[in-house]
Amino acid sequence: MVSLRRIALILALVFGPALALGAGVDINTADAETLATAINGVGMKKASAIVAYRSQHGPFKSVDELTLVDGIGPGIVDKNRSNLTTKTASNASK
């Protein structure tokens, strides 16, 4: 039987870095593997499409622009909005 202490440690290791930063995953800098792990409803194929779109068109200005990528609809964006950011794009314009 897994102890509560072990479960807490596993959860801290898995979610700790994201919670510590509080900002979520930057869709302008994350690699495909990170995107596939961080975005519910997105596997490696869609995550690779996000990276390819970003490489071709430049950084996303908002999380909503993910819907411009084939296979990413508003439902996926809405479900994951709180975990995603485009902080790189907003910093680039300053």
CATH code assigned at 61: 1.10.150.280
Structural domain tally of the chain? Answer: 1
- What is residue 58's three-state secondary structure? coil
Question: Does residue 43 lie in a domain region?
Answer: yes
Q: Which helix (H) or strand (E) holds 25?
A: strand 25-26
The answer to whether position 12 is within a domain reads no
Provide φ and ψ at 30, rounded to 5°.
-70, 145
Provide the whole-model pTM: 0.71
In a domain, 32, yes or no: yes
Residue 32: give the domain boundaries: 24-92
Whether 49 is covered by a domain: the verdict is yes
* 44-69 confidence digits (pLDDT tens): 999 999 999 999 999 999 999 999 99
d(CA 66, CA 29): 14
| pLDDT tier at 38, thresholds 50, 70, 90 | very high
